[in-house]
Structure 1
Amino acid sequence: MAEVAKPVHTTAYKPHPTEKMKAALWMGSKTIELGEVPKPTITAPKDAIVHITHCTICGSDLHMYDGALNKVMEKGLIMGHEAIGIVEEVGPEVKNLKAGDRVVIMPVIACGECFYCKRKEFSLCDKTNPSKELQQMYGHRLSGIFGYSMITGGYPGDQAEYCRVPNADLTCVKAPKNVAAKKLVGLADVTPTAWHGCELAEVGEGDVVGVWGCGAVGLSIQRLAKYRGARRVYAVDKDAHRLSIAKSFDMIPINVEEHPDPARQILSLEPHGLDRGIEASGFRSTNTVTHATMRALGAEGDSSDTASAVIKATRKGGNVALIGDFFFETNDFPIGMLMEKAITLRGGQLYAEKYFPFLVDIVADGKYDPSFMFTHEDKFENIAQSYDAFYNHKMPGGLKVCLATAFGRAQA
């Protein structure tokens, strides 16, 4: 029997003895504070210190913001896993990066050496997450992730002026200096997550695809499905503004407010069903009183409303991918429909490092532009207000904000 790789705890945060930096700190439910903390230093020989120029807030950051993960959070954790910057310093075993390189920081922290990393399934890495709680929950650990609770390793995130990046040769991707910052920040998480959704669903030439969710990830999945040759793409959401964005990209909008049973509506237009269905709305999406009540009573952590609709709308023998961040458990999952229709169901966090440099290349070559997702720009110092606006659906333009640090603004 092959030996299971032993987890390596590499989350150590060695503070600089004198220098300070600004960082977005989780201080409790709906409370993000811009605090001043010690600047990180090299802790391990494969580390790099990256001076952040731009970052953003992910929809999954809101899981921590609204209190859903309070039990696995610690006050003062630096948030964030979507950022770009300039390498300031590298450890003695970093081979491919040097000071002055512009980089995109991947959200997933992988070792590159374990069973899963050798298969390029980087978010399943055995070595970079010391969380015993996650192993008890799932039977296994997953990879470490920047700024994403203690069950993903407790790594300080990159919504900060500096970030220590473990295993930097794998976790950082060199970026051309002539590519706009918003395009590169869009490559940190959203674009590879969207590509991962298309990969899991096996989206290909001539497919009819349905995507539940028209946030930044859902819209990106839709656009990349078209890039991969999809014939028609349905966009499912409750938000009329986001649906209008989908329509502007030539998607077919399905408004759940007008069609409470979106699967029935899609099947009325596509009797054969979708070839590929992708859930990208997140675990908070509830469309029925039943699931809303169960969640309110604590009888389930996630809702299967959207997953059930995706499975129903997908043709026999088709593929379904779960990209929305489901964490816990649900009720009334249609296991019979899934089995009897011979549908392949896949999910998982993105294998970020697997999709580079391909994604950088198509952006640099002008074949795909991810900057559409940033409907607002602001100073990093206003990140607490940006969390509030994002959570309360008051973000200007309705999607994401690109935040520039003082260092980033000076580079412009």
Structure 2
Amino acid sequence: MAKVQHPVYTTKYKPHAYKTMKAAQWMGPKNVQLGTVPKPMVTAPKDAIVHITHCTICGSDLHMYNPDLKTAMEKGLILGHEAIGIVDEVGKSVQTLIPGDRVIILPVIACGECFYCTREEYSLCDRTNPSEEMEQLYGHRLSGMFGYSKLTGGYPGNQAEWCRVPNADLVCVKAPTDLPAQKLLGLCDVTPSAWHGNELAEVRKGDVVGVWGCGAVGLSVQRLALFRGAKKVYGIDKDPQRLALAKGYGSVPVDVATHKDVADFILEVEPNGLDRAIEASGFRSTNSISHTIMRGIFAEGDSGDTISSIIKATRKGGNIALIGDFFFKTNQFPIGALMEKAITLRGGQLYAQKYFPYLLEITARGEYDPSFMFTYEDDFENIASDYAKFNSHEIPGGLKVCLVTAFGRTL
């Protein structure tokens, strides 16, 4: 295949000869430090080295920060899986990218050739994750991911000034030169994850939808559900600021602090129950005493509290999607209600490469704007303090921070 020539994002761009870079490294529980590490190099023919301009912190990064994945972490791992930048260098087998191209780095590292990739189920890729621990836990390995523990391959992340991108033709998406950085950064992970939730739940025109979580992903799920034609969307959370945002975007806010039994409340106002329900908060959203005790004695890793509420609130024959991260096991799972109500339950990580052409298209056409999630901008060098702010819900505006690298500030 002949290489495709593209116009460069900036004519001033020249590959940089730096030997080291700054990167956000996991150094222990609640300890992220900005370290100086070797700049990555091309190590395989399909690699690209991307000079990062903008990156962000994901809610799922907090599983490592707190740490819920402590046993799968390695001191010094570079974190992050949401970033955009400029191609600095490519391997000899890269066909669609050249130095100077502006790109979005997708979080899922897929091969493009295995059984699952040929079915466009990229996060189930057979070939990019060497983790034996994951295989022992789940019976199979899933795809590799950037900056997300040894469970997903131990790949260095892109909360850094440069990133090595394996299988770059598939894992990088060439970005329009005229779209603002925050729109592109919002497309990296959050928007395709939210679309994945809608796809798994089979949200369609006229549906009544419930979304547990009003963070960046949950709000994106809600906005995209309405975009797909949902009649009504409930946004469930306990953060007043995020609930206000949900209301502003057209959802019906449901405050967990006010309605202790959310399922009972939803069934009062929607007697048939929800057509589709999407969990976008993750197991850490619960504060129940029983879960705290069971985690303390290692009898439970994840919590079934939220999913129990979702199953109760969903109508007979309805659909449920899990896209908040669950890793281990839970007790008191309502398997009887799930089975007897004929509910379809699906989950999984996003199929980013599958959804991207359409999501980029509606963003470029102005039909959807993913930049809403960035309520704060900061210099990349402040990432350690921004992790602490994000973990304690103290990011200004309540959602995500857009971090701009020194290189990004020059463009």
TM-score by length of 1: 0.95
Q: CA deviation at 1:291?
A: 2.2
Partner-residue secondary structure (3-state), 1:185: helix
Which residue of structure 1 lines up, in the alignment, with residue 314 of structure 2?
314
Q: Please tell me the residue identity of whatever aligns with 2:405.
A: T
Structure 2: unaligned runs, 5 residues or longer = 1-15
1:356 match: secondary structure: helix
- The 8 Å contact of residues 260 and 287 in structure 1, kept in 2 or not, is answered as no
Aligned positions of 1:25-64 closer than 5 A: 25-64=25-64
- Aligned residues of 1:213 and 1:281 also touching (Cα < 8 A): yes
Cα distance in 2 between the residues matched to 1:116 and 1:212: 29
Q: Which residues of 2 match residues 184-199 of structure 1 at below 5 A?
A: 184-199=184-199
Q: Report the residue type matching 1:155 in the other structure.
A: Y
SS at match of 1:284: helix
Query: Hey, what does 1:377 align to over in structure 2?
Result: 377
Give the aligned CA root-mean-square deviation in angstroms.
1.1
**Matched residue type, 2:327:** F
Q: 1:156 maps to which residue?
A: 156
Between 290-299 and 64-73, the greater mean CA deviation after superposition: 290-299
Distance 1:249 1:33 in 2: 35
Q: Which moved more, 1:105-114 or 1:349-358?
A: 349-358
1:85-124 map, 5 Å: 85-124=85-124
Partner of 2:12: none
Shift of 1:151: 1.1
Equivalent position of 2:9 in the other structure: none
Matched, 1:398 2:390: no
Q: Secondary structure at the match of 2:337?
A: helix
The residue identity in structure 2 corresponding to 1:178 is D
SS at match of 1:186: helix
Query: Aligned residue for 2:4?
Result: none
Code of the residue aligned with 1:29 in structure 2: it is P
Using the alignment, how far apart are the partners of 1:21 and 1:31 within structure 2? 19
Matched residue, 1:340 = 340
Measure the CA separation in 2 of the matches of 1:187 and 1:147. 18
- Tell me the equivalent position of 2:303: 303
Deviations 1:336-384 (A, max 9, x none): 0000000000000001111011111111110000111111000000000
CA distance in 2, matches of 1:398, 1:158: 23
SS in 2 for 1:84: strand
Conserved in 2, the CA contact under 8 Å of 1:108 and 1:143? yes
> Distance in 2 between the 1:115 and 1:213 partners?
33
Matches within 5 A, 1:60-75: 60-75=60-75
User: 1:292 Cα deviation (Å)?
Assistant: 2.8
Letter paired with 1:272 = N
Q: Name the CA shift for 1:378/1:18 in 2 (closer, same or farther; >3 Å).
A: closer
Which of structure 1's runs of 4+ aligned residues deviate more than 4 A? none
* Offset, 1:18: 6.7
One-letter amino acid of the structure 2 residue matched with residue 82 of structure 1: E
Superposed CA offset, 1:18-70 (max 9, x none): 71110001101111110111101101000000000000000010100112111
- Partner of 2:362, secondary structure, is helix
Q: Structure 2 counterpart of 1:229, which letter?
A: G
Q: Deviations over 1:303-322 (max 9, x none)?
A: 01111111111100000000
Q: Distance in 2 between matches of 1:189 and 1:160?
A: 17
Q: Following the alignment from structure 1 to structure 2, what is the Cα–Cα distance between the partners of residues 190 and 199?
A: 14
- SS of 1:60's partner is helix
Distance 1:51 1:289 in 2: 46
Residue correspondences, number: 396
SS of the equivalent of 1:357 reads helix
Identity over the aligned pairs, expressed in percent?
A: 70
The correspondence of residues 1-400 of structure 1 with structure 2, limited to 5 A, is: 19-400=19-400
Paired residue secondary structure (1:120): coil
Query: Residue 17 of structure 1: CA displacement?
Result: 10
CA distance in 1, matches of 2:58, 2:194: 13
- How big is the shift at 1:289? 2.5
Per-residue CA distance 1:44-99 (angstroms, 9 max, x = gap):
00000000000000001010011211111111110000000001111111111111
Question: For the residues of structure 1 that align with 2:267 and 2:291, how far apart are their CA atoms?
Answer: 23
* Alignment correspondent of 1:7: none
What do residues 370-404 of structure 1 show as CA deviations (whole Å, max 9, x unaligned)?
A: 11111100000000000010011111111100000
Helix, strand or coil: the match of 2:45?
coil
User: 3-state SS of the aligned residue for 1:310?
Assistant: helix
CA positional deviation for 1:240 = 1.1
CA contact (8 A) 1:17 1:38 kept: no
TM-fit CA distance, 1:299: 1.6
Maintained 8 Å contact 1:173/1:357: no
Q: Distance in 1 between matches of 2:136 and 2:295?
A: 22
Rounded to whole Å, the distance in 2 between the matches of 1:241 and 1:17 is: 45
Q: 1:343 is matched by which residue type in structure 2?
A: I
CA distance in 2, matches of 1:232, 1:117: 34
